[in-house]
Copies of this chain bind each other. A is one copy, B any other.
């Protein structure tokens, strides 16, 4: 054993140390730690004890390097998106179940998606999961030529890149149908502009209106992803001479801004205006908001994404665009027209 480094901390124990202490070979220790057959119960116990005694834990760096396959799935996520947080959590569960480790790389205003991907690649991840990437499709396709790529939570028109997302068209249609079922006729949609998913949600809304024979009532207002955009749309609604009795907002934050704006103007919700959001975020569940909304099934999204990534990484499995059904969550912000 070499002398301690100047810090006074001991060199971390290696597999060799454990083997020596347990009186076996390194290979045996390796087997025991990977729970593979080929060691007697008695030795397993001895090895475990020796390891515990000297505080050994396998060195992941060496393990990654020596394995034929890295066993790593790279995940690019945005630090500012609460929804990505939920996804990451679900991905841990999903990947663990399938025996893989996650490598996280964050995207932030000061850290580009390119940098995030580059870092992931340097760890030789077997597949990349990109949460709501904003890179152009061409760039994603190029990347997918290097490593299996699964785009999560973004609609993508590509033949080569895999994707897993919620059926936003269906979600928006469901929400619209819910309002129609309540007896609303003048139903407006405050959209998300060119945000991921916005086009799909517009289509779902429009189709539901058309199916109900209300094509003439279709009214799409320019919105966005934030409270501010919702408030602006709310102001527009108030100014309209034939005000809608119900609104489907692009997402919960947008709905919240809208609620705030029309509330200030004295409108009752849902009496004067029924409001539906999208995402089922924490905000939607606040007691005084209690927003009817559309929930994305995070656990299923994560499962499918990991499964698809691994299928591609191992060579079997063809390209797929997986679509997961959303779920309407009815709360008190939507009710029949007065």
Partner of A111, one of B62, B64, B92, B260: B92
Q: Is B121 within 8 A of A57, CB to CB?
A: yes
Give the nearest-CB partner of A147 in chain B: B9
Binds B, one of A81-89, A175-183, A189-197, A326-334: A81-89
- The answer to the question of A20 belonging to the interface, with a C-beta cut-off of 8 Å to chain B, is no
Bound state CA distance, A292 and B90, in angstroms?
36
Bound state CA distance, A93 and B59, in angstroms?
27
Q: Is B92 within 8 A of A122, CB to CB?
A: no
Binds B, one of A41-49, A100-108, A214-222, A240-248: A100-108
- The answer to the question of A61 belonging to the interface, with a C-beta cut-off of 8 Å to chain B, is yes
Query: Which residues of chain B have C-beta atoms less than 8 A from A104's C-beta?
Result: 104-106
Q: Is B108 within 8 A of A85, CB to CB?
A: yes
Bound state CA distance, A5 and B7, in angstroms?
44
A118-148: CB near B (< 8 Å → 1, else 0) gives 1101111000000000000000000000110
Query: Which residues of chain B have C-beta atoms less than 8 A from A80's C-beta?
Result: 82, 85
Partner of A288, one of B12, B61, B65, B231: B231
Query: Which residues of chain B have C-beta atoms less than 8 A from A118's C-beta?
Result: 57
Query: Which residues of chain B have C-beta atoms less than 8 A from A7's C-beta?
Result: 312-315
Would you mind naming 11 contact pairs between A and B with Cβ atoms under 8 Å apart? A9-B146, A58-B122, A59-B124, A60-B119, A60-B122, A80-B85, A82-B82, A88-B106, A89-B110, A92-B110, A231-B287
A79-B86, A85-B106 are known contacts; what are 8 more A-B pairs with Cβ within 8 Å?
Answer: A7-B312, A7-B314, A9-B146, A57-B122, A59-B65, A61-B61, A89-B106, A227-B286
Residues of A at the B interface (CB closer than 8 Å) are: 5-9, 12, 55, 57-62, 64-65, 70, 79-80, 82, 85-86, 88-89, 92-93, 101, 104-106, 108-111, 118-119, 121-124, 146-147, 227-228, 231, 257, 260-261, 264, 286-288, 312-315
